[in-house]
Amino acid sequence: MSNVDWGLDGLVSELRARREHWRRARQRDPEINGREFPSLDVMHQVSEGLASALFPMRLGPSDLKPKAEDHYIGYTLDKALNTLLDQAVLELRFGQNPPEPFAQTREKAIAAIREFALRLPDIRSVLDTDVEAAYKGDPAARSMDEVLLCYPGVRAIIFHRLSHELFKLGLPLLARIMAEISHSETGIDIHPGATIGESFFIDHGTGVVIGETTIIGRGVRIYQAVTLGAKRFEVDEQGSLIKGGARHPVIEDQVVIYAGATLLGRITIGRGSSIGGNVWLTHSVPPNSQITQANHEQRCEEQRAKGE
């Protein structure tokens, strides 16, 4: 069959025109625009490497033997950390205008990744509490090994605890990429900025959204489709959103939030409370509250009646 002429040259130059128009319109510095950028594929490898180094016998290669565990960790960590370092340099350099000397940026990146590495043992210890919480929190769970391998909520918290450290160490873009890799796999969307205490468990998980400034205590349990979101965005005088600022809920220790509940704004859910499924909540509740759709609506009606 004869080859088809797609008018490639015209297409290519028209696409170039559109890109240039866009760059001009946004006053993009062409030099910055062409800079190499951290890569999803590379961060995917880093994520897998770190998870494998933390739980080698379950998340590492299926042919790994206990005797080679430490060797595997050593090799895998070194590779993951070096790759992460390269990505960190890319993130740090991306925005610089004018760029600082390369060696200086690299030193900053090394400091950040070195600190990140030092935190890995503690991350593992906290994750152990999460795995145990998942095992205890789901009547269908048969073993902690099953939980570690199969539960999307466990996978999501592993990647969150790693990406949260990157976020705190001044690498918010790498953190975000890692978080979105996890989101795509698990359907659970935790912003890397969120602060989450130990023994945290998300069951089923699809549709969970946890916003950037959320603070979650210890022993919290959350079900699918729960949103911990912002109530409304602050807008500046030009009508643009004001970025940053505490705008998501504070969840105290031992709270349970059932499926589909929506908690919006900088509210506080008191220790030991239970928020029922589908509840829509935009105000704080005291410790040990039992909020269900029924009592919640009733209370809302009462408030309306009282003119609140």
CA–CA dist 36, 49 (Å, integer):
22
The minimum distance between CB 165 and a copy of itself, in angstroms, equals 14
The minimum distance between CB 41 and a copy of itself, in angstroms, equals 6
206 lies in the site for a copy of itself, by CB under 8 A: yes
CA–CA dist 218, 199 (Å, integer):
6
Q: Do the beta carbons of residue 213 and residue 246 sit within 8 Å? A: yes
Q: Restricting to residues 208-227, which ones interact with a copy of itself according to CB under 8 A?
A: 209, 211-212, 224-225, 227
The minimum distance between CB 286 and a copy of itself, in angstroms, equals 22
Q: Which residue from 44, 108, 168, 204 is in contact with a copy of itself, where contact means CB under 8 A?
A: 204
Q: Restricting to residues 237-266, which ones interact with a copy of itself according to CB under 8 A?
A: 240-245, 247, 259-260, 262, 264
The stretch among 65-73, 156-164, 265-273, 283-291 that binds a copy of itself (CB under 8 A) is: 65-73
Q: How many residues does the chain have?
A: 308
Upper half-sphere CA count for residue 142 (Cβ side, 13 Å) = 3
24 lies in the site for a copy of itself, by CB under 8 A: no
287 lies in the site for a copy of itself, by CB under 8 A: no
Phi-psi region of 26 (alpha: psi -120 to 50; beta: other; left: phi over 0): alpha
160 lies in the site for a copy of itself, by CB under 8 A: no
The stretch among 54-62, 158-166, 265-273, 283-291 that binds a copy of itself (CB under 8 A) is: 54-62
Q: Mark 222-260 as b/e (b = at least 16 C-beta within 10 Å).
A: bbbbbbbbbeeeeeeeeeeeeeeeebbbbbbbbbbbbbb
Helix (H) or strand (E) holding 116: helix 102-137
Q: Which residue from 46, 134, 152, 196 is in contact with a copy of itself, where contact means CB under 8 A?
A: 152
